Structure 1
């Protein structure tokens, strides 16, 4: 079994499934040094998690100053499945709608509503930022596959039939 932190965890069925979803939580450090946790849409490219954002936001200001992040993609139904990523982000500002943003919006809103929304915002002067994360640490929790957090109490493991 792969250890938490191993990048090869990205090849597990749990990680592959979670990377097809569109909503994650991004944790980063704010300007005042306190943690932030926000929901974000994302697109997995096969080696990079892309989080599209609008230029000029506090999030972008804070990530420029402190690019270390953690990302969590998980499910809420049944026994949880969790993908955790850590690393430093890169930021690239562009004019107009990011292609990855268009993909995520069409996925979330549907093709017709997504296209209408994108047409409404794609005006001169629109600037977006491509936040890219190439993970340097990967964690997967999947209670059905018996991949548990480190130091899970023995009674919990026993309840899932995974006691050692």
Structure 2
């Protein structure tokens, strides 16, 4: 009986399969595959947990952003109200200042009018006294000069 190459190939295959069965290679492969599957499952679970944590952090950051925007809007509204109040106060103070300045100017004008009238009166009195002095001096040529001076002083006192 002559053994050809096919026979020897069959014998080699049988020995190889027997060796693999003896060394329990399928169990080792199954064990390695199970270990790899468990590792992949754990990694997937960890990835899901990380994804959930990332979603929670995103939601937290969005909530904080909304709160910060609301706070910024509130601060802006407060600042606007304060600015409006400052402008209103400034307008009121400006109007009061203008009113006071106008009143002071009017008082100065009235005072100037009073002084002008007083000055005109004083000047008129002086002119009247001078005229009266001349008239009395002309009419009382022979009279006592002290009496004339007393009369003029009396006129000055009464007119001023």
Which TM bucket (shorter chain)?
under 0.3
Q: Which structure has greater strand proportion? A: 1
Using the size of structure 1 for normalisation, the TM-score is 0.17
Q: Compare relative contact order (CA 8 Å, sep 6+) and give the higher one, 1 or 2.
A: 1
